[in-house]
Amino acid sequence: EDKTIAVADFAQVRWAQRPELIHPLTGERYDLGQHGGLSDTDVGDLKQRSFDHFAHLLVRNDGATDFRKSALAFWRFGPEVREDDDFGKLGALWRLLPADTRVPDHSIWDHLDLTSAFAGAFAADLNGEAALLSLSIGPVQSFIEAARTTSDLWAGSHLLARLAWEAMKPVCEQLGPDAILFPRLRGVPQVDLWLRDTVGLPREWFASCDWNKPGTDANPLFSAALPNRFVAVVPASRAKEIATQVEQAVRGYLQKLGQTVVNRLLAEAGLGVDSEQHCHAQMRDQLAGFPEVHWAVVPFSLIRCRDQAKQRDLDVSALSAAMRPFFDAPGEPGFLSSPAWQVLQKDTAWDDRTTFFAPNPGVLYPAVYDLAERVMAAAKTARPFAQTQAEGWRCSLTGETEWLCTHEEQRHWNQNYRKQRGTLWTEIAKKKPAWAKKGEHLGALPAIKRLWPTLFAEEVRAAVGGDMQRFVVSTHTMALAGQMENWLGDGASVSQTTRVLMSKADSVALPRKLLRLAPAGSREAAKALPALLDAARELRETAFESPHQAQAAELQAKAMENAVRQTLGRDGEPARLETYYALLLMDGDRMGAWLSGGENYAISYRDSFHSKVRDGAQAHVEKHEDLKKYFNSKRALSPNRHLAISGALNDFSLTLARFVVEDEHAGRLIYSGGDDVLAMLPVMDLLAAMQQLRAAYSGVACPDAPFERARDIEMNQGFVRLTQRDGEGRAVPRLMRLMGSRATASIGAVIAHHQAPLGAVMRELRSAEKRAKNEGGRDAFSLTVIKRSGGDLRLTAKLTAAAGESPMTCLRELSAALRQDVGASRRAAYRIQEWLPDMPEPTQVGGAEPFRQMLASLLAQTFRHADKKIENIEMHVERLVSLCPTDSAKDAARFLGNFLSVAEFLARETRSASQAGGRT
């Protein structure tokens, strides 16, 4: 009895007195007591308030409860409690309330989602069996990168995310969105729209959602926010049927979309849509078999229980036999040979013979998931395809398929003949240049991508109302964004002459931050400034019939450019306009390992317990070898872990990535799904945005890149507290659990001229991201500067620093220091480049430390000779030298040359905070 009392004492947690959340991926403890602690809530009161909350979510039809709609309402809005100011508040913690206060590393919502997913799969199967379905669609990179404009780039990313949703929809319709373990779909705008308009949940429940507000493409519905793969729990007997339905649904959706595109093209060109034309058949043929769909199913029935009644005494012989072909090592394959399984496969008991742990089939989830991933990989290696025949000229964007034409013989027309005779595409170029530029003749997929912005804008307009127009921030506008931010901060004055010119130019889309900063009276002027430069370029590119007309056009173009320079200038001096912009590509490191839960990516069972339980159990654990092994072993992969990762990536991609790119900076989020981010930014915002995105991904504060809106965001130990305004203007705090301090990400970035071919820029961006992972060793960045004059610059270094200075911080601060005298700094950089190739080897000067001392002396001397005004140059030189590799003089020269050249490029006046606004 004494033992039982002792055990019960440390195993009981009064959570309101010692409130802590444990991060399931890192074991870090988030002490809620640091915010003043929590007050006890009466159980009866909490029960009543919870009952009232869910009672409000019951959906009734003709007085009877609609159980399907009510279940979906519980799933979607259960974690979102709305409370009056004078009511006892559950607050932001409601979303993360632990299911078990003794093991506070997963929320009650994770527990309910998982229970519902398995219960639904069991109920829908004749034999009460569940299976794990893993499915992906593709290809990804080639589809997105076939882009000539930022609109193409956005369309490819967004359309792929939409296809991902069309693939997930059959599972959601039959089993509910909680059946999908990864990605987590709660709060995804496209899923909300389905719940409202297809399922029929009350419209007023979605009134405060950001996506339900009319406006421009800042609406979250325009964000590509779903990855191209999912993992779901499905009924075992119907798994193949469901996978086949998914494949048919996603391909059927694209085929229907393709025919809509053909009909819109024909109608716009005035060529009639009353009858079948050759382009209809071309569209069907070119879309056949697209997208590729790969899937694998593993039934949980591979795990057998000798004691069926209690789901105990596990037999893994069938599971072992299924796994063995994928493993070469002798003995039990995969998870079945892991230390975790050696501990988990048998009962663990206290001294009084009370059972502490008894294994059930759930502990073998890691083996089932691993088998599904390996079967999926095997399925991808076999790529059957049907042979197709194409005889005519190819698509001018991809060069892979025939261009769409109204008559079969047109396929063989060359470019001159097309111009003389006219085609579908020559008419489109005249009447709808946003769909096709002059000379372009597109195939099926490029045609769909070109019309997707228009078609989706119409879809959103029908869903949320308003005059929804699809705009994509152009590279030209993004290049000017920093200078325009500074101009808006100075009052946004515009001369009367400039206003007259602006009236002749169209408006363009602006980054969301600029729209927020712009006073109501200056918004239209801000939209017209980049448009003036676009109009000037079009005038110069127009072929005029007489020299007099050409001369007049040139004078008008110069007047437009000068008006923009004068408007953005300071102290009566015209501004030098920035012509470079940045693209950023971020990808989480080793996501496969995080999802598979390997030994190096898991916390121990001991670390998952509340501090009181962990500390109190220590004395008992030390006396029992089996308990000690259990406490110290790494926690095995579980569905809850997938829900935790999915929830973290969901919060990052839907909320934090947008906050960093579009609220903190004047950027444009093109794609944000899971651990992937593709964004466009002004050059001056690039470095700070990279650091903040990396910090937000892990949920760990970055003092070197403080947030401008620091009062709205707090990051600590893998948790983020973000305060935003809801649809009614109220400040709503939200507590989110991110990937944690052990999770890292790598970033590739490119700085390019706004007229550089986008396809080439995207290829370099992919290369930069790969260099960050390979050459940088992950948790790194690789930055490429594609200079208009030639001679690309490339710099690869770590994003964070285990010890010493962060290379990113050093780059930002050195660049800021060099701005004090840009001309002198450029001279110093050139002089340093002259002597770098002649450096002796480290071995010739006595080793690494003397080599660094030599470099520091030479660098400081060169900078002092070029410009004595640069403050603390010795400090910057010391930092730079500490980062420099010392294995060879060649490596040191390459690193220093690239680092200094990039710093000097970023220091030029159009990227200066004093000239362009924003932060350094």
pLDDT in the model for residue 318: 94
- pLDDT band of 470, cuts 50, 70, 90: low
What does the H/E/C string look like for 523-547?
HHHHHHHHHHHHHHHHHHHCCCCCH
Half-sphere exposure of 226 (CA within 13 A, CB side): 31
Lowest mean pLDDT among 364-373, 613-622, 643-652, 890-899: 613-622
List all residues 6 or more positions away from 579 whose beta carbon is below 8 Å from its beta carbon: 479, 753, 754, 755, 788, 910
pLDDT tens-place string over residues 546-564: 888 889 989 988 999 999 9
* Per-residue DSSP letter, 23: -
Give the residue carrying structure tokens 């290809």. 139
- pLDDT band of 120, cuts 50, 70, 90: very high
pLDDT in the model for residue 43: 67
Question: How far apart are the C-alpha atoms of 475 and 484, rounded to whole Å?
Answer: 14
pLDDT in the model for residue 216: 67
Q: In whole numbers, what is the pLDDT of the chain averaged over residues?
A: 87
pLDDT in the model for residue 132: 96
Contact 32, 38 (CB under 8 A): yes
Residue 658 host element (H or E): helix 657-658
Give the closest residue to 683 by CA, choosing from 573, 577, 565: 577
pLDDT tens-place string over residues 657-708: 999 999 999 999 999 988 999 999 999 999 999 999 999 999 998 888 888 8
pLDDT tens-place string over residues 593-647: 998 887 789 999 999 999 998 988 887 788 888 888 888 999 988 898 999 999 9
Give alpha helix (H) positions in 806-912: 807-818, 822-835, 848-866, 873-883, 889-907
Backbone phi, psi, residue 615, to 5°: -70, -40
The residue that leads in pLDDT, 520 or 6, is 520
Instruction: Extract the tokens encoding 727.
Output: 């649809």
In the chain, what percentage of residues exceed pLDDT 70?
91
pLDDT tens-place string over residues 742-752: 999 999 999 99
Give the closest residue to 521 by CA, choosing from 496, 546, 492, 495: 492
List all residues 6 or more positions away from 148 whose beta carbon is below 8 Å from its beta carbon: 397, 437, 757, 758, 759
86: pLDDT strictly greater than 50: no
Lowest mean pLDDT among 521-525, 550-554, 895-899: 521-525
Any idea how long the chain is? 920
Question: How far apart are the C-alpha atoms of 820 and 807, rounded to whole Å?
Answer: 21
- pLDDT band of 918, cuts 50, 70, 90: very low
The pTM assigned to this predicted structure is 0.90
